[in-house]
Amino acid sequence: MSAPSPHPRVVQEDVPETGECVLLDPERGRVLALNATAAAVWELLDGQRSPSDLAAALADAAGIDRAQAEADVRTLLARLAEEGFLA
């Protein structure tokens, strides 16, 4: 996955109080809730940033180790792909 992006049919509903969001795929009847960290990564999915770029942004924003950010981003992207939320 070189530069992931959201699938165009996915609708995002934000939860401003918590920074979380819910992803909806109305065609497939899928719903996925993202915690605030995952929602922040989701916001960066623009088809331009590589998983490594996403991990660097997460590490900087969350103040976590780069290796941990890489693992977290890989896990999130795998789940999003598995559930059909990526283009």
Residue 5 forms part of a structural domain = no
Residue 24 forms part of a structural domain = yes
Measured between alpha carbons, how far is 83 from 76 in angstroms, rounded to an integer?
Answer: 11
Mean pLDDT of 56-65: 94
Range(s) of the domain holding residue 18 = 11-83
**Quick one: pLDDT at residue 14?**
97
Query: If you ran DSSP here, which 8-state letter would residue 86 be given?
Result: B
**Which domain CATH number covers 27?**
1.10.10.1150
Mean pLDDT of 15-30: 96
**Quick one: pLDDT at residue 79?**
97
For 75-84, the pLDDT digits (tens) are 999 999 999 9
Number of separate domains in the chain? 1
Element (H, E) at 37: helix 36-44
For 23-48, the pLDDT digits (tens) are 999 999 999 999 999 999 999 999 99
| pLDDT at residue 1 is higher than 80 | no
Residue 75 forms part of a structural domain = yes
Residue 16 forms part of a structural domain = yes
**Quick one: pLDDT at residue 10?**
98
Residue 74 forms part of a structural domain = yes
Q: pTM for the full model? A: 0.92
Phi-psi category of residue 56: left, alpha or beta, with phi > 0 → left and psi -120 to 50 → alpha: alpha
57-63 long-range contacts, Cβ below 8 Å, gap at least 24? 62/37
